Amino acid sequence: MPESDAEDTALLARLRTGNEAAFALILDTWSAGMIRLAKDYAAARRGDRPDRRPRAVPSGE
């Protein structure tokens, strides 16, 4: 994943032009964290885990 603002900007530019490799990079890097966050959120909404609130994904995970 990009480590600087310039790299983030370049990645966004690639995404906006439909670059599949840029999309794959983001998907590969963030999908596990996004899925975990969604599961925690859904469980909290259902009341399955009243002792825990949905957690945010740490930066760089």
If one counts the domains in the chain, the total is 1
58 is a domain residue: no
> At residue 26, does pLDDT exceed 80?
yes
> If you compute the radius of gyration of the chain from its CA atoms, what whole number of angstroms results?
15
54 is a domain residue: no
57 is a domain residue: no
Top pLDDT among 25 and 4 is at: 25
37 is a domain residue: yes
**Each residue of 36-60: pLDDT tens digit?**
999 988 988 888 765 556 566 666 5
18 is a domain residue: yes
Compute the CA torsion angle 33, 8, 3, 18 (nearest 10 deg). 60
55 is a domain residue: no
**pLDDT score of 23:** 94
Residue numbers of the domain that contains 27: 5-46
